[in-house]
Structure formats: structure tokens, C-alpha cells
Amino acid sequence: MKLNPLHAALHATSGRLLALFALLALAAALLIAGALRVSADEEYDLKLVPSSSKQSTTLTIDGAASRTVAYDGAVARFRVVVERDSALEARQAGALVVSALRDAVDENCTTGEPDNADHTADPTCISPNGLQTVNFRLGQVWDWTEEGRVLRGWEYEYRLQIAIRGTGFAGGLVDLVIGAGGDSLQFDGLDFTASRRAEVERMALLDAIDDAQATADSIAEHMGYEIVRVVELSPVGNLTASRTTLESAEAAVADDSFEPTPVFGGSESVTSRVRMVFELRPMPGAETTNAPDGS
């Protein structure tokens, strides 16, 4: 079959267009493949890059230091315990004892030192806050018998405390509250206090830091190292010596044979501890073979 010139020209043009499209598709495929290969190669190379990290040499030291703080106050703890057949009777009897304690404190203690105080005289009761209520309870008391539980009565319990300035009147304070409370009073204890304790603890902590620093300097110098910096510092805690406590004091007797309760003040030792971690590096010219095996 013979094509006319127009058909022949169209046929040739379409053939060339198809060939051109095929070349373009091939080129695009090659470009995409190359791009994918480059992307894959870059990701692979990033994963193979090693991280450069150098482990530092550290030294851990515990430091400790102690300071002494003198007692400059005392706290007496006691309670009034009364048992009666009824709640009203127990409350009334207990309130009378508490009132007697209050009157004794008001009569013998002051909230501050008078301007004309005689410092050569015996110590007096100075209580800035006076008598303080700690706890109050009124409840039933039961007994167990062959017939079961039976009501024995009602118990009134009133806990109090009083803090004084100075330690010279500590024994007098014991005698004061026992004498006013009588047989209804139970003395729970006398504790000494130190108003400068927090300040002394901070000073001991600074001494403990100096102690740890000096020990680290000595060890590092002996090993041929020098301290770069402090990596970590943490207080370990404070250790305090036991305080003097008077328990279960004997009842005071208001006669010529009465002997005041002897109480001796004193001081306590406060120990602060600290843990420090130092980063070390070899001194210039020192052999690195002297490095310790661990931190």
C-alpha cells in the first residue's frame, strides 16, 4: 500500500516523537537511579563516622569535720495525768493542776532579762514563750475482768512544755514544775538546745569541703596528676553527739531536807560530711602509666 506524502510525513513525525519520549524516559530513569544511589551512599557514610569520646579520670573523696556548739537553752517536757470516776471530775481535777503550773511559771519566770538584772546572783527562769500546750486528751479507761471489759473511769492527760534561755536554771525548772504539779505530774524529760547549731553546722560543712579538697590535692600530686575541676559535690549528712537528758525526776519535797535537782549543761559535737568528685589530668611531663585503674 502506498501512502500519500501527507500521511508519510505524519508517520515519520510520530516515530521521531516516540523515540524522543523514550530517550527522555530513559534519561529520567537514569537521573532518579543516580539520585537514589547518592542518597544511599550519603546515609551509609554518616553511619560509619565514628564518635570521638575520651573517658576522663575522676577521684572521689569523702571529707568530714567537727565543731563544738555550747548549749544555751533547755526545754522541759511534762504532762498532767488525772483519773476520776466521771469525765467532768477528771477534767476539773486536771485543770486545777494545770492552773497551778501556770501560776508557778508566771510567778517565777520572765519573758526577758530585766535591765537591772544582777548577773552575780543565781540564775533565774527566763522563758520568752512561757508555758505551751502540746497535747490534750480526755478518754475512758477500761479494765478486763472475768466478766469482760468494764469501765474503770476517765483519764485526763495534758502535755506541756516550757523552754528557757540559758542552762543555769535547768535544775530549778525541773523542781519548779514537779513542785507545782505534785503527784499528778509526770516529767518526760529535759533537753538542752543550742541556738547557734545551724550556724555551726554550716561552718563544719565548709571545714569538711576543705578537708576533702586537701586530701584530693595530696593524692593527685602523689600520682602525678592535677585537679581540673569539681565534678560533683554533695553533703552526706550531719552527725550529732547525744544530748544530755534527765528522765523521771524525783518529786520535789518542800521542806528543809529538799535537795535541788542537779543538772549540768555543756555542749555537743556537730560533725558534717561531704562527698566530692574531682576530674584529674596528668601533669605536664608526667607518665600516664601512673594513672589509677578506676575513678
How high is the pLDDT of residue 264? 84
Pairing mode, strands 185-193 and 245-246: antiparallel
Examine the domain organization and report whether 219 and 168 are in the same domain: no
- Look at residues 135, 165, 193 and tell me which one is the last residue of a structural domain: 193
How high is the pLDDT of residue 124? 87
123 in any annotated domain: yes
188-199 pLDDT tens trace:
999 999 999 999
Best CA proximity match to 234, nearest among 281, 196, 272: 272
Q: Which residues contact 188 (CB under 8 A, 6 or more apart)?
A: 77, 78, 79, 159, 247
**Angle in degrees, CA 28, 33, 35, rounded to 5:** 95
Facing residues of 246 across strands? 190
Examine the domain organization and report whether 85 and 185 are in the same domain: yes
What is the SS3 assignment for 151?
Answer: strand
Can you read off the three cell numbers belonging to residue 61?
573523696
CA distance 41 to 147: 95
User: Are 233 and 267 within 8 A, CB to CB?
Assistant: no
45 in any annotated domain: yes
Examine the domain organization and report whether 109 and 159 are in the same domain: yes
How high is the pLDDT of residue 224? 93
How high is the pLDDT of residue 42? 30
Examine the domain organization and report whether 105 and 179 are in the same domain: yes
Q: Report the domain count for the chain.
A: 3
Q: DSSP assignment of 110-136, as one string? A: ESS--TT--TTS---EE-SS-EEEEEE
User: Are 280 and 226 within 8 A, CB to CB?
Assistant: yes
205-254 pLDDT tens trace:
999 999 999 999 999 999 999 999 999 999 887 766 544 444 333 333 34
User: Are 174 and 189 within 8 A, CB to CB?
Assistant: no
19 in any annotated domain: yes
Examine the domain organization and report whether 77 and 176 are in the same domain: yes
What CATH number is associated with residue 103?
Answer: 3.30.70.2970
Q: Give the global pTM.
A: 0.63
CB hemisphere CA count around 177 (13 angstroms): 30
CA distance 164 to 71: 12
How high is the pLDDT of residue 261? 83
- Look at residues 193, 228, 254 and tell me which one is the last residue of a structural domain: 193
Examine the domain organization and report whether 209 and 232 are in the same domain: yes
Examine the domain organization and report whether 132 and 166 are in the same domain: yes
Examine the domain organization and report whether 189 and 124 are in the same domain: yes
226 in any annotated domain: yes
Q: Is 232 exposed, middle or buried (0-12, 13-18, 19+ CB in 10 A)?
A: exposed
Examine the domain organization and report whether 77 and 189 are in the same domain: yes
Examine the domain organization and report whether 46 and 27 are in the same domain: yes
Split the chain (295 residues) into runs of 10 and give each run's mean pLDDT: 51 58 58 45 32 71 94 95 97 96 94 72 87 96 91 96 93 94 95 93 95 95 94 82 43 54 87 94 70 49
What CATH number is associated with residue 207?
Answer: 3.30.110.170
Biggest alpha carbon distance in the chain? 157
Examine the domain organization and report whether 152 and 88 are in the same domain: yes
CA distance 47 to 125: 80
Can you read off the three cell numbers belonging to residue 87?
469525765
Best CA proximity match to 102, nearest among 133, 136, 138: 133
CB hemisphere CA count around 279 (13 angstroms): 8
211 in any annotated domain: yes
How high is the pLDDT of residue 44? 28
Examine the domain organization and report whether 28 and 80 are in the same domain: no
24 in any annotated domain: yes
Best CA proximity match to 78, nearest among 183, 149, 158, 136: 158
- Look at residues 134, 161, 193 and tell me which one is the last residue of a structural domain: 193
**In which domain, by residue range, is 112 found?**
73-193
247 in any annotated domain: no
266 in any annotated domain: no
User: Are 62 and 275 within 8 A, CB to CB?
Assistant: yes
